[in-house]
Amino acid sequence: MIDIWGRPTSICTQRVLWACSELDLEYNLTLASATMGAKGHISRGHAPYGIVDTAAYQVMNPNSTVPLIKDGSFILWESNAIVTYLAMKYGAGTLYQNDSQMLARSIAWMAWTNEHLDPPLHTFVMELVRLAEELRSPDAVEPARTEIENWLKVLDKHLENQPYVCGDTFTLGDITTGASVYRAHLFDACPPRLSNITKWQKKLSKRNGFSHHVTPHEFHLG
Under DSSP, is residue 198 helix (H, G, I), strand (E, B) or coil?
Answer: helix
Residue 215: is its pLDDT beyond 70?
A: yes
Helix, strand, coil percentages (3-state) for the chain, rounded to 5, are 55, 15, 30
The number of angstroms, rounded, from the C-alpha of 60 to the middle of its chain's C-alpha atoms is 21
The helix (run of H) or strand (run of E) holding residue 20 is: helix 11-22
Beta bridge partners of 30: 5
pLDDT over 90, % of the chain: 84
pTM above 0.85, yes or no: yes
Residue 45: is its pLDDT beyond 90?
A: no
Closest to 176 in 3D by CA, of 8, 2, 17:
17
The helix (run of H) or strand (run of E) holding residue 116 is: none
Domain positions in the chain are: 2-90, 100-214
Pairwise CA distance, residues 44 & 66, whole Å = 21
Under DSSP, is residue 121 helix (H, G, I), strand (E, B) or coil?
Answer: helix
Domain covering 2-90 in this structure, CATH number? 3.40.30.10
**What's the pLDDT tens digit per position in 5-39?**
999 999 999 999 999 999 999 999 999 998 889 88
Q: Predicted confidence band at 222 (pLDDT cuts at 50, 70, 90)?
A: low
**What's the pLDDT tens digit per position in 157-205?**
999 999 999 999 999 999 999 999 999 999 999 998 999 999 999 999 9
Q: Tell me the Ramachandran region of residue 155: left when phi exceeds 0, alpha when psi lies from -120 to 50, beta otherwise.
A: alpha
Domain covering 100-214 in this structure, CATH number? 1.20.1050.10
pLDDT at 44 (0 to 100):
85
- CA distances (Å), origin 128, targets 80, 89, 187: 26, 39, 9
Closest to 35 in 3D by CA, of 116, 148, 110, 135:
135
